Amino acid sequence: MKRCLIIGAAPVSGALLEQFSGREKDYIICADGGYQSAVDAGLRPDLVVGDFDSMERPKDAGVEILQVAAEKDDTDMMLALKEGAARGYEEFVLLGSLGGRLDHTVANLQAVAWGLERGLFVMLADENNLVAMLRGDSAGVPRLEGYYLSLFSYSEQCRGVTVRGVKYPLEDAVLTQAFPLGVSNEIVEREAFLRVEEGTLLIVMSREA
């Protein structure tokens, strides 16, 4: 299955776009202002979703355009994700989704949760952070040089949280949403093993900028 890259309006470097757009068959959606980031990086999106309120409608005849109302319940990023899901994609990477306005960063965390509820894998990425969620499931997380691994309960509680292959392992622990246990762990093996039996685990990998 092809992966869907969504490029949002938050700052995104050409280097990051290059890093993630290497897979030739990826489907690329730009959410409104993200179109300029793509063009600047020499990428040609497959689809541009936006209200074209703050930016001009793209003139490139080869790019499909989905124009939406300026006053809407969804953010442009969310509309792009929904459109990608409607087109059958199940794996998403959202670039230009972090590091801009905090309200948009939080909205994009909710977009990850929205995907999870529908069985979609959604990851947020910028130069120094990777974000994903896991619910009632297990996963391996590869060690990335210089990155810390932090785990949070996104649901009110996470039960049966196990983390192995890290400096501070956990076995069958309970995390709550009102207590930031699990910040700045370090993966010490080739990959960490994560499991959460109940609840939604928010996984953040960050490094110093």
Q: Is 13 in the site for a copy of itself (CB under 8 A)?
A: no
Of the pair 138, 184, the CB lying nearest a copy of itself is at 184
Tell the smallest beta-carbon distance from residue 49 to a copy of itself (Å): 15
The 73-112 site mask, x for binding a copy of itself (CB under 8 A), equals xxx--x-------------------x-xxxxxxxxx-xx-
Contact status, residue 129 vs residue 105, Cβ threshold 8 Å: no
Using CB under 8 A as the binding criterion, the count of chain residues that bind a copy of itself stands at: 45
Write the DSSP string, 117-146: HTT-EEEEE-SSEEEEEEEEEEEEEE--TT
Q: Is 36 in the site for a copy of itself (CB under 8 A)?
A: no
Report the alpha-carbon distance of residue 86 to residue 107 in Å, rounded: 20
Q: What are phi and psi of 195, to 5 degrees?
A: -140, 140
The 129-148 site mask, x for binding a copy of itself (CB under 8 A), equals x-x----------------x
In a 3-state reduction of DSSP, which class is residue 202?
strand
Q: Give the sign of the dihedral formed by CA 11, CA 104, CA 54, CA 123.
A: positive
Query: Position 74: which residue type?
Result: D
Give residues in contact with a copy of itself (CB under 8 A): 71, 73-75, 78, 98, 100-108, 110-111, 113-114, 116-117, 128-129, 131, 148, 150, 152, 154-156, 168, 177-181, 183-184, 202, 204-209
